Amino acid sequence: MRKWALLFVVVAFCRLNSLAQSPFGHYFQDTLKPGYRISGKLDSVDVNLAAYQHTLPGFFNPFLFSFSYSDLNTTWHKPQQRRYSAIPHIAFEYSMGSKLAQFGKITYTQAIDSNTFIQFDYIRNTTNGNLRNSNFERNSVQLSLMHRSRYYGTILDVSFYGNNNQLNDGLTGDSVREGFPLNFQEVVKSNAGNKTKEFHADWKNYISFTKDSLHKAGVMLQSRLDIKNQRYFERDTLKQIYGFYNYDSTYSYDYWELASLRLNGGMFYKNQDFNFEAGLGTRYWDYDNMVLHQDTTEAYGYAALDMILKGFSLKAAANYTFVGANGEMSVVADLGKRFRSNLFTAHASFSRQYPENYQRNYYANTLNYSWINRQLSTKTLGNVHWSSKNRVIPFFAEAFIESNTNMPVFIQNRWRQDTLMHLSVAGIQVGFEYSYRKLLIQSRVSYRESSGNLLPNWLLSGRIAYNGGLFKAQKLKTVTGIEIGYISSYRLMDFAPMINTYVFSNSGRAFREMMKLHFYSQFDLGYFRWFIRIENIEQTFVKPTNFEGLGYPVTPLQFRFGVSWDFFN
C-alpha cells in the first residue's frame, strides 16, 4: 500500500521554531524494529529512564550541553516523535528515587490496518522534597490517529499537559507597577505555588486530485486549537498574605489564559524525491488576565520543501505574517548526508517575532508589567553534527551557536527588551566509545561560551564499566561501572515563581566548580530491563554548600531504581 502514500508535508505555523514532522513523507516505514527498547541503549538506561533530578524549577538545566535562552521562560508541553510499527507494541518505564521522586511512561503503537495507525503516550513526573523541600507534579497525555487512502489522508493529534509546582517561602520581593507607586508587602508563605495547563487539538487533512502514485497533487486543510493558562497562588486570604493590600481580590489573582485557533489551507505537489507545499493561514487568539482582555486576528503565508538530491536530504520551511503581528517570520532548514558509517547533519534557523511571554500585559497584586512599546526580537541558530559508527572507536562531534537580539529578559521585577539585550551562546562537544572484551569506556567533553556567563564553560564526563553477561548462560547482560564528571563555575540566576521565568540577577554569587561521582548498574533480560544508580556521591565528602541557582542547593546524595518492559505482539 505504500504506492498510495501521500505527500510529505511540513506545516509551518505562525511562530515556527523547528521543523514539524509529517508521517506521510516516509511512507509509514517502521521505526520500531523488534530490537527496539523504550529505554534505549543498554549502556545508558540509567540516563534514559530518569532525567537528572536537579533542584532548579522548570526545564532549565545548566549541566546539559544543549541550551537555548528560551529555556529560561519556557515550561510548555514537549510533543513526542512519530512512531510506526507493523506489529502492536506496548512499553512502559518507571523509576523512583530519593525525595519520593517518581517518573513513569506508557507508550502504545499499533497499525490497526495497512492504512490506519494509532499512537498513545502518557508521562508522569513527580517529586516531594527535591525542589527546595517542596514538590511538583507533571502529567502529559498525547493521542495521535493517522489514516491514508488513495485520495485522502488525515492526522489527528490531541494532547494535554499539566504542571503543578508547590513552592515554599512564597515570594521574597514583590514588584511595583511601573508608573503607579504602590509599595507591595513581601509575601512569605509556606504554601505558595503555580499551575500550568495546556490543551492542543490539531487536525490535518490531505486531498489528492491525482491517481498516479508517483506524482501527487492536491490540497491540504488544517485546523488547530490551543488553550494555555497559568496561575500563581498562595492559599490564604489577601489580609493574611499581605500587611495591606491594594486591589480587590477579583482583580489581583495572578492568572492568565490564552486561547488560539488556527486555520491553514494550501496546495501540495509530490514526486518520488521532491515534495513541496505552500499556502495561507489565519490565527485568532484571545488573552484574558482577570479584567484585562485582548484579542487579535493574524494572517500569514507559509511554504515547505522536502527533497532528496544525490544522496543529500533537505527539509526546509518558511512563513511570514502580514496581518496582526506584522513582520513576524521564520525560516528553518535541515540538511543530512550519510557516508557508509558516517552521518553528517546540519541545522539552521532564523526567526523574528514579538515577545511570547504572554501576552503584552500582566496585572496582579504580586507583579505588574506592560510592554506598550514592544519590539520584534530575532533569534539565529545553527548547529552541525558528525557521528561515526566505525568498528574501532565510534565517536561524535557537534557544535552549535545561538544569537538573540532584543530578546525580552526579566531584570529587577520587570521585563526589559532593548538593544542591550544581545544574548548569545556557542559550544562544541566531542565524545567517543571504546570496547575491549568486557571493558567499556565512554567519554565526552564540551566547552561553551555564554553571555553573562550563565552556563559553565566546561562539562566533562567519563564512564568506565564492565560490559558483558552474567552466570554460565550469559543471558543476563549487564553494564556496571562508575561515572566521573567535572563542572566549571558559572553565574547563579534567580527564579520568579509567579511567572515561571528566570531572573538576570546581579547578586555576584556563582556556582563553584566541582567534581561529580556516580555509580550505575543496569541489566537486560530480553525485553525486561532494570537499573540501579547512586548519584552525587561526591556530596558526602564535599562540605561547603554549593548552589545551582539562587536559593537552590546542589542535589545531595540520592538513590534511583527503575525498570522498563517492551511487549511486541
| Contact call for residues 477 and 521 (beta carbons, < 8 A) | no
- Predicted pLDDT of residue 359: 44
Contacts of 466 (CB under 8 A, 6+ apart): 438, 439, 440, 478, 479, 480, 481
Dihedral, CA atoms, 19, 25, 29, 35, nearest 10 degrees? -10
Residues 372-400, mean pLDDT to the nearest whole number: 91
- Determine the pLDDT at residue 538: 93
Tell me the average pLDDT of the chain: 81
Q: Phi then psi for 531, rounded to 5 degrees?
A: -145, 160
**Local confidence band at 10 (pLDDT 50, 70, 90 cut-offs):** very low
Q: Which residue has the higher pLDDT, 265 or 413?
A: 265
Mention every residue, 6+ apart, whose C-beta is less than 8 A from residue 553. 55, 545, 546, 547
367 band by pLDDT with thresholds 50, 70 and 90:
low
The string of pLDDT tens digits covering residues 442-482 is 999 999 999 989 999 999 999 999 999 988 888 899 999 99
Question: Reduced to 3 states, what is the DSSP secondary structure of residue 29?
Answer: coil
Backbone torsions φ then ψ of 43, nearest 5 degrees: -70, -5
- DSSP output for 431-500: EEEEEETTEEEEEEEEEEEEGGG-S-SEEEEEEEEEEEEETTT--EEEEEEEEEEEE--EE--EEETTTT
Q: Which of 79-88, 116-125, 386-395, 449-458 has the lowest mean pLDDT?
A: 79-88
Give ∠ CA 336-339-343 in degrees, rounded to 5.
45
Mean pLDDT calculated for residue range 338-356: 91
Q: Is 509 exposed, middle or buried, given 0-12, 13-18 or 19+ CB atoms closer than 10 A?
A: middle
pLDDT, residue 184, reads: 36
Q: Which grid cell sits at 24?
A: 506521510
Residue 357's pLDDT band (cuts 50, 70, 90): low
Among the ranges given (139-148, 191-200, 387-396), the one the predictor scored with the smallest mean pLDDT: 191-200
- DSSP-based three-state secondary structure for 137: strand
pTM: 0.84
| Residue 458, strand partner residues | 447
Which residues, listed in sequence order, are joined to residue 230 by a DSSP beta bridge?
196, 256
Q: 538, 540, 534: which is closest to 558 by C-alpha?
A: 534
Q: What's the length of the chain?
A: 569
Confidence category of residue 343, pLDDT binned at 50, 70, 90: very high
Res 254 pLDDT > 90: no
Cα distance between residue 113 and residue 105, in whole Å: 26
Q: Indicate the burial class of 310 (C-beta count within 10 angstroms; 0-12, 13-18, 19 or more).
A: exposed
Cα 76 off chain centre by: 8
Least confident of 85-99, 308-322, 410-424: 410-424
Query: What is the structure's pLDDT at 397?
Result: 98
Least confident stretch, 181-190, 291-300, 400-409: 181-190
Q: What distance in Å separates the CA atoms of residue 175 and residue 177, rounded to the nearest whole number? A: 7
Q: Give CA separation, 259 vs 110, 158, 227, 354, in Å.
A: 32, 15, 4, 17
Q: In this structure, what C-alpha cell is assigned to residue 530?
A: 532494570
Q: What is the structure's pLDDT at 191?
A: 64
CB-based burial label for 208 (10 Å; 0-12, 13-18, 19+):
buried
Query: Is the pLDDT confidence value at 87 over 80?
Result: yes
Residue 19: what pLDDT? 33
Largest CA distance in the chain: 78
CA pair distance 442, 463, nearest whole angstrom: 5
Distance from C-alpha of 320 to C-alpha of 330, rounded to nearest angstrom: 7
Residue where the block lists cell 498525547: 142
Q: What is the pLDDT of residue 292?
A: 67
pLDDT range class, residue 555, cuts 50, 70, 90: confident
pLDDT in tens, 524-534: 998 999 999 99
* Selection from 516, 514, 506 nearest residue 546 by Cα: 514
Q: How many CB atoms lie within 10 A of CB 433?
A: 16
Q: Euclidean distance between the first and final Cα of the chain, in Å?
A: 22
Q: Read off the pLDDT of residues 492-547 as tens digits, 9 standing for 90 and up.
A: 988 877 677 888 877 788 999 999 999 999 999 989 999 999 999 999 988 788 88
pLDDT of residue 226: 95
348 sits in which H/E element:
strand 342-353
Percent of the chain with pLDDT over 70: 78
Identify which has the larger pLDDT, 124 or 411. Answer: 124
> Mind listing the pLDDT tens digit for each residue in 162-209?
988 876 655 443 333 333 333 333 444 556 677 889 999 999 998 988
User: Could you please report the per-residue DSSP string of 224-248?
Assistant: EEEEEEEEEEESS-HHHH-SS--S-
**Residue 179: what pLDDT?**
36
What cell was used for 525?
533480560
**Lowest-confidence segment of 68-82, 133-147, 389-403 by average pLDDT:** 68-82
| Among 50-64, 164-178, 242-256, 544-558, the range of highest mean pLDDT | 544-558
Bridge partners of 225, per DSSP, are: 201, 261
Q: How confident is the model at residue 240 (pLDDT cuts 50, 70, 90)?
A: low
Least confident range of 33-42, 188-197, 418-427, 442-451: 188-197
Instruction: Find the helix or strand (DSSP H, E) in which 48 lies.
Output: helix 45-48
Confidence class for position 124, pLDDT limits 50, 70, 90: very high
Residue 210, classed as helix, strand or coil, is coil
Residue 56 predicted with pLDDT over 60: yes
Q: How confident is the model at residue 386 (pLDDT cuts 50, 70, 90)?
A: very high
For residues 91 and 83, is the Cβ–Cβ distance under 8 A?
no
